Amino acid sequence: MAQPVLITGVAGFLGSHLADDLLGRGYSVRGIDNMIDGFKENIPDGVEFHELDCRDALGHPDLFADVAMVFHCAAAPYEGLSVFSPFLVHEHTTSATVAMLSAAVRAGVGRFVHCSSMSRYGALVPPFTEDLTPAPLTPYGIAKYAADLQVRAIADVHGMEYNIAVPHNIIGTRQRYDDPYRNVAAIMINRVLRGKQPIIYGDGSQTRCFSFVSDVVSCLTRLGTEPDIRGEIVNVGPDEGEVTVLDLSREICSIAGLDFDPVFMPARPLEVHHATCSSDKARRLLGYRTEVALRDGLTEMVEWVAKVGPKEFHYNLELEIVNELTPRTWSSRLM
């Protein structure tokens, strides 16, 4: 019987899709999640689930018994919010990663795959390539890059294999859409399906690339399972189909059949204006191809949110800092 794999953040968006993929390939999957953002219904049947905070991993050696690889998807992936809740984001991003690394090394895990973020590149000149020296701007980007460095240092010295995936903005089913602090496309879809206009911070000329979740999962799986791919940092996602946030919101309104008349709010502090990555390395190393085009991915997501039902926004996380820089959508709960 194949050795089990362990996925952190398995009740979240990416972790649950990765679990589906690995189960489908015949792996036995253990998963943990502390449920700060996850949903039990996301966890695929067949996953051996443990409700646990990654920061407590060292106290649970049984979880790591015989584990061949860890896919570390848990984090507090809140770039904008991290400016106002830096401690929360640091704890669930950097501290959680270090605890998982320590427990994995102690248990003799073979390989650790870390989900980083393109926020590690900050405001460098796009398209970002993996050889750039990261220059994150936000507490989230700094937390992710710190976690990347910890992966490299701890894994290297103790002889554990590792790979680091650097996804861009991901969309797809199971993504949280009632969270007012992150997931721009999901927030817009939830609002539009409730008959409300998309909210744009700044003038909407910020540029991004979006990946559909299945295109990211296939790369993560290869980073875990390909024996000859080790010690790599790989941007994961498209480098074509770049859109402005304004065009994204127009597209969502068009798919959902709502007239387009967005609400503009002041720009958010430290938001990077142009953030796109090169996919050359992913194409070369992982055979990356964009299988799902943006409009098709958005359409699938709109249909899914419509089926599950649009929701009130849920302000579930604490704002540690509230001042004149805090977006009013958050401090006054305007969503």
Ligand X SMILES: NC(=O)c1ccc[n+]([C@@H]2O[C@H](COP(=O)([O-])OP(=O)(O)OC[C@H]3O[C@@H](n4cnc5c(N)ncnc54)[C@H](O)[C@@H]3O)[C@@H](O)[C@H]2O)c1
One residue of 5, 19, 22, 76 binding ligand X per CB under 6 A = 76
Nearer to ligand X, 260 or 274 (CB): 274
Nearer to ligand X, 54 or 199 (CB): 54
The residue number whose beta carbon is nearest to ligand X equals 12
Q: Is 135 among the residues that bind ligand X (CB under 6 A)? A: no
Site for ligand X in 166-205 (CB under 6 A): 167, 169-170, 176
Site for ligand X in 43-72 (CB under 6 A): 53-55
Q: Is 122 among the residues that bind ligand X (CB under 6 A)? A: no
One residue of 43, 67, 109, 115 binding ligand X per CB under 6 A = 115
Q: Nearest distance from residue 74's CB to ligand X, in Å?
A: 4
Q: Nearest distance from residue 169's CB to ligand X, in Å?
A: 5
What string marks each residue from 225 to 264 as x (binds ligand X by CB under 6 A) or -?
----------------------------------------
Contact window for ligand X (CB under 6 A) among 125-133, 162-170, 225-233, 293-301? 162-170
Q: Nearest distance from residue 32's CB to ligand X, in Å?
A: 6
Q: Is 86 among the residues that bind ligand X (CB under 6 A)? A: no
Q: Nearest distance from residue 24's CB to ligand X, in Å?
A: 18
Q: What is the dihedral of CA 125, 131, 132, 134, to 10 degrees?
A: 130
Q: Nearest distance from residue 323's CB to ligand X, in Å?
A: 26
Residues near ligand X (CB under 6 A) are 8-9, 11-15, 32-38, 53-55, 73-77, 92, 96, 115, 117, 167, 169-170, 176
